Structure 1
Amino acid sequence: MKQTGDGPVKPAQKSDEVRHDQQEDDDVELDPRVWVRRFKAWREALRQRPSTNRLYRLVVGLVGGGIVVGGLALVPLPGPGWLIVFLGLAVLATEFTWADRLEKFARKQVGAWTKWLMAQPIYVRALVGLATAALVVAIFWVLFRVTGVPGWIPDNWIPAWSGLG
C-alpha cells in the first residue's frame, strides 16, 4: 500500500476484487445446485426422525396422488392430461421407488406410442384423432346425461336429437 499524508490508500484493484468475490457469492446463492443440496440436507434431517419422515411421505403421497388422479381425469379431455399425470408421478417418485419405476415405464410407453403413430400414414393419424374426438364427445354426453347440461351452456347449442335437451 502507498502511504500519503492522509494515511494508507487502498489500491483500486483491491476494491474491484472484493466486488467480484461478492458477485461470485451472489451467483452461488442463485445456483440451483445449492438449493438442491440444501433440500437434500433438509430431507435427510427429516429422515432421521421416523415420525416426521412418515408425515412427510404421507403428504407427498397425498399431493402426488391427487395430481395423478386429476391428470387421469383430464386425459380424455383436450388439454395437458398426460403432462399432469407425469407431474404427479414425478412428485411421487421423489419418495417412492415404485412411482419412479412407473414413471419411467409410462414415459417409455408414451414415447413408443408417439413414435409408432408418427410413423403411420396420415389417414391412420386422422382416424386416431377422430376416435379421440369421438371419445371426448361420448364422455361429455354421458356426463351431461347423468348430471344435466350446465346452465351456462345456451339451450340453442344443444340439438334436440342429442337427447340432452
Structure 2
Amino acid sequence: MRQTDTMSVGAALRGWFRRTGSEILGWVVVVVGVILMPLPGPGMVIVVSGLAILSRHYVWAQRVLGPLERKATEAAKFGVETWPRIAVSFLGGVWLAVLGVIWWIGPDIPEFEVLGVGFGPELPAQGWATALGLWASAVAAWALLAYSVVRWREPRPADVP
C-alpha cells in the first residue's frame, strides 16, 4: 500500500466520522440519556450532550438546544449570584454522594406501599450501578458549579476586601 493510499483512507475515515459517525454517536447518546432519565443519575445531561452533538447536523437540534442553553445560562448565573446559593448547590452534590454510599451499601428499609406498589426490605435498585449513577451526578454537579463560579460569578462589593 502506498503512502497516498493510507492518507486517503485516513481522510475518508475522518470524513465519515465527521458526518455519519458523529451522527450515530449523537443518537446513541440521546437514547442512553432517555433510558437513564428515570434512574438516579445524569440522564438529562446526557440527552442534552447528545443534542449538542446532533446540532452539528440538524437544524431542529439547534432549535431545541438554543433555548436550553439560554435557560441553563440564566440558571447558572442565578445559582452563583450569592455565596449561600453556592453553598447549597455544593451541599446538593454532597447529598448525592452520600446517597450513592447508601445505595451501594444497600441497608434494609422498612416495608411500605405506595399506590399499591410494595417496597422493602431492600432499597429499590440498590447496588453499585445506582451508586455509580449518583456519584457521577455529584461529580457533574460539582464540575458545573465550579465552571459556573469561574465563568459567571461577578465580584460584589461585599466580596472585595
Relative to the length of structure 1, the TM-score reads 0.39
Please identify which structure carries the higher helix content: 1
